[in-house]
Structure 1
Amino acid sequence: MTNRSTWINAAIGAVTTIALSFTGFSPLLGGGIAGYLQRETPKRGAKAGAISGAIATIPLVLVMCIGLLLYAGIPAASPGAPGGLELAIIFLIMLPMLALWFVGLSTAGGYLGGYLHTNSRPPTGDNLGVER
């Protein structure tokens, strides 16, 4: 059994998060996979999950920036529709909230993944408390 790097496990979790982005809880699943693959304590799994969430946030930011650039040049169709400046303000408020959502759920998933890994091993002398 090889011990992969935290960054590789986080990248696998981020790809899972992006692939399952059509669900509302994909950061939780991606972080859980990263934490489980970390094969260490739940605290280290949470770290891998948090990194996974940060990596998975990058495509979200890029898509939002492209959308902002495309929409900013279009004049408002109706008097109550937000224009470019209002949309930029909304963007600056929503982006940190979405990043916190991704990183927070991924961290929780990473903790749960690490917990599942440490408590799902088959019983051996190492985790039964038997001294050798």
Structure 2
Amino acid sequence: MAPEDTLRNAVMGAVASVLLTFTGISPLPGGAVAGYLNSDGTPESGDGLRVGALSGFIASIPIAGLLLLVLVVLPFLGFFGFPLEASLIAGGLFVLTAITVLGSVAYSVVLSALGGLLGVYLKEEL
């Protein structure tokens, strides 16, 4: 498939992931949508992995953006009139938030990649 088709299918999978956020495993069906749309019916699981992972990365951008905003604001709490202790706690929260951002992106990308494999499999079998 052409690169623009892959990107379009990944974005459609990301939209499906965002719409199914309430399920808790939304990257899996989102990646499956992307893999299904991107597959041409031949057994090329690498394409399913690639488009699924891209879909998960695109879907995690809003989550990572919100958490990174917290990362930017937390270190400056002392400048906003909060006591020094609050800034020290914010430093610990800074590390915790960074780990959360990386974990949420990894969760989304891995589940979407598996969903991409599932979507390719479904396209082959149906």
TM-score category (smaller protein) = 0.7 to 0.9
Partner of 1:52: 55
Q: 1:89 aligns with which of 71, 81, 95?
A: 95
**What is the CA deviation profile of residues 83-126 of structure 1, one whole-angstrom value per residue up to 9, with x for unaligned ones?**
21011110122222211110000000000000000111xxxxxx
- Given the alignment of the two structures, is residue 29 of structure 1 paired with residue 25 of structure 2, yes or no? no
CA RMSD, Structure 1 to Structure 2 (Å): 2.4
Query: Match of 1:102, as an amino acid?
Result: S
Q: 2:121 aligns with which of 103, 115, 118?
A: 115
Query: Match of 2:116, as an amino acid?
Result: G
Percent sequence identity is 35
Rg comparison, structure with higher value = 1
Select the structure that is richer in helix.
2
Q: 1:64 aligns with which of 63, 67, 74?
A: 67
Unaligned 5+ runs, structure 2: none
Query: Match of 2:54, as an amino acid?
Result: I
Query: Match of 2:34, as an amino acid?
Result: A
Q: How many residues of Structure 1 are paired with residues of Structure 2 in the alignment?
A: 116
Unaligned 5+ runs, structure 1: 121-132
Query: Secondary structure of the equivalent of 2:23?
Result: coil
